[in-house]
Structure 1
Amino acid sequence: MELEQARKLWQPEPGWLNTATYGLPPEPVWDAVQRVLADWRTGRVSFEVWDESVDRSRAAFARLTGVDAADVSVGASASQLVAPIAAGLPAGATVVVPETEFTSILFPWLVQRDRGVRVRTVPLAGLVDAIDAGTDLVAFSVVQSADGTVAPYDEIVAAARAHGAFVVADATQACGWLPFAADRADAVVVGAYKWLMSPRGSAFAYLAPALRERMRPDAAGWYAGREPHASYYGLPLRLADDARRFDIAPPWLSYAGTAPALELLADLDLEAVRAYDVGLANRFLAGLGRPPGDSAIVTVDVPDAQERLARAGVRAAVRAGRVRASFHLYTTEADVDRAVEALTG
């Protein structure tokens, strides 16, 4: 599908510049959620019908990120998917993380401190140089939530590989607008409710086979079974041989909307999405006299910015004390110009 054709699938109220908080559903997503809500309300179908959306979502995420579906685990949040990776670290391991990281990719390591796991935080700009022979794992966001900074992904991976360290990336603020090679990392986790424009409650993890060997599926239930529908009751333990052994039973209502959202994005040229989103971000920056950047998320420090935007009907966020604006497929130039006028008028 061409980008301009796809952009007709949204009906947003003007002024939404906050995809970094949550994305807006295209019409196929909205329609799918309404259908599953009606089915739930009336009890007209069995859950197996809803479960088909999980398989579709897994396949679409794999296609979107260029990985094998057998290496994709489904869950409900980024931190939940990181947890078994952290639990699988050997006692005394050292993890290096940027110092201002979003806590979903920070707290899971910190709670392992009672086993002697050490977390070393450094500025993102110094992350590559901080990876050394004593580093067991490096964790970071591909795009920083606080200000939209795009991490030097390839350089971080190369430094980790040079020292035999694992790489875990949180792509929640990147996947859906920024092309990157997910399979270069050992794990990539993504919450789907932002740039993937899904209902909150669906999340994905690419888990490389070598990393999975060090992980323990502590949350395993019937959905992690080799044959889920033959894993409802009793012994023996019979888990899937691939990344599905780390699945948790999915929130079907969320995945009903996730499947069409990811399928839509997987059919688009992600480079064209990146160019569109970053182009709008740079239009915003230019209107405020700022130099252009390389991200769909930008932050600005303007006196009374939040109040000015609110009066103009522009919805943005405040992160780390600055106004954060984010731009995606349903954002228009008129939205950008409205925000610029509010901040400069």
Structure 2
Amino acid sequence: MDIEQAQTLWQPEPGWLNTASYGLPPEPAWTALQAALADWRVGRTSWESWDGATQRSRAAFARLIGVPVADVTIGATASQLLAPVAAALPAGATVVVPEVEFTSNLFPWLAQEPRGVHVRTVPLDKLADSVDADTDLVAFSLVQSSDGTVAAYEEIVAAARAHGALVAVDATQACGWLPFDGTRADVVVVGAYKWLMAPRGASFAYLAPALRDRLRPDAANWYAGVDPHTSYYGPPLRLAEDARRFDISPAWFSYVGAAPALELVAEIGLSAIHAHDVALANRFLVGLGRPPGDSAIVTVEVPGAQERLERAGVRAAVRAGRVRASFHVYSTEADVDLALDALTS
């Protein structure tokens, strides 16, 4: 399916340039969710039919980042999925994080400071050079929420490996438009409600097998059982041997909407989405006299920008005092030109 064919599956109002805040559902996801809600309203079906979407979503996510499905756990938020990793750090461990990191990939590490974990923040462009023999874990967003900067993934991973440090990546602002190899990291967490265009409440994590052996499943529950259907009552503890041991019981309807959305992203192809998104972002930048970049998220400083965009019906965001525009598969050149007209008139 090419981009032009895919765009018929969305119905955005003109001027939506804010996927970095939340993505818009494609028609298959919207339809599946409405059907599930209708069944829920009248008690027409059992929950098992909804739960099938959880397993489809897990498998689709694994394909998108190139990892084994057995290494993927599901949850509700990125920070919740990082929590067992943070809790497993030994007292005295050092975590290196970018200075302007989104707090879902910062607070879990800072919360461990009372027991002796040290968090050191450095400029993002100095992150690889800041990894040293005292570093136990490097945590960073693959794409920065504040301004769309794409991290030097391979360079940072190489520096971490050279010093025996773990790598924890928040790919929430990347997964869905930026192709990358998830197996290069030890942990990859993704909130699926942005570029994967799922309902909020569906999140995924890749947990490398060697790392999982260090983690304790503090949120152990029936859904993390080796067989959830025989894990409803009573001891002994009987958790899955793979990454499912870290699952939490899913918000059913979030995954009902997630499965078709993730499968559609895979059908269109990340390479095609990446080319489309970055081309539109660069059309926007060049139209404002800025040099082109490599991200689907861009930030600009234009006097009165927020008010100008609002008057034109363009929905973007303001982050760190700058207008942030983000472009995805359903975005068009007309959306870009609407924003440019507002900002340059």
TM-score (norm 1): 0.99
Aligned partners of 2:229 and 2:291: how far apart in 1? 55
Aligned-partner residue type, residue 251 of structure 1: A
Aligned partners of 2:179 and 2:249: how far apart in 1? 29
Shift of 1:114: 1.3
What runs of 5+ residues in structure 2 fail to find an aligned partner?
none
Give the corresponding residue for 2:115.
115
Aligned partners of 1:170 and 1:95: how far apart in 2? 15
How does 1:1-345 map onto structure 2 within 5 Å?
A: 1-345=1-345
Aligned-partner residue type, residue 30 of structure 2: W
Aligned-partner residue type, residue 203 of structure 1: S
Shift of 1:4: 2.0
Aligned length: 345
Deviations 1:112-164 (A, max 9, x none): 01110000000001000000000000000000000000000000000000000
Aligned partners of 2:95 and 2:333: how far apart in 1? 42
Where 1:164 maps in the other structure, the secondary structure is coil
What percent identity do the matched residue pairs reach? Answer: 75
Deviations 1:164-212 (A, max 9, x none): 0000000000000000111100010000000000000000000000110
Aligned partners of 2:4 and 2:308: how far apart in 1? 31
Where 1:14 maps in the other structure, the secondary structure is coil
Aligned partners of 1:87 and 1:7: how far apart in 2? 43
Deviations 1:239-269 (A, max 9, x none): 0000000000000011000000001111222
Structure 1 runs of 4+ aligned residues shifted over 4 Å read none
Aligned partners of 1:34 and 1:80: how far apart in 2? 27
Where 1:267 maps in the other structure, the secondary structure is helix
Deviations 1:261-300 (A, max 9, x none): 0011112221111010000000000110000000000000
Shift of 1:3: 2.4
Where 2:23 maps in the other structure, the secondary structure is coil
Where 2:268 maps in the other structure, the secondary structure is coil
Shift of 1:7: 1.6
Aligned-partner residue type, residue 277 of structure 2: D
Aligned-partner residue type, residue 231 of structure 1: S
Aligned partners of 1:266 and 1:328: how far apart in 2? 14
Shift of 1:227: 0.5
Shift of 1:2: 2.3
Aligned partners of 1:115 and 1:50: how far apart in 2? 41
Aligned-partner residue type, residue 118 of structure 1: H
Aligned partners of 1:146 and 1:334: how far apart in 2? 25
Where 1:172 maps in the other structure, the secondary structure is coil
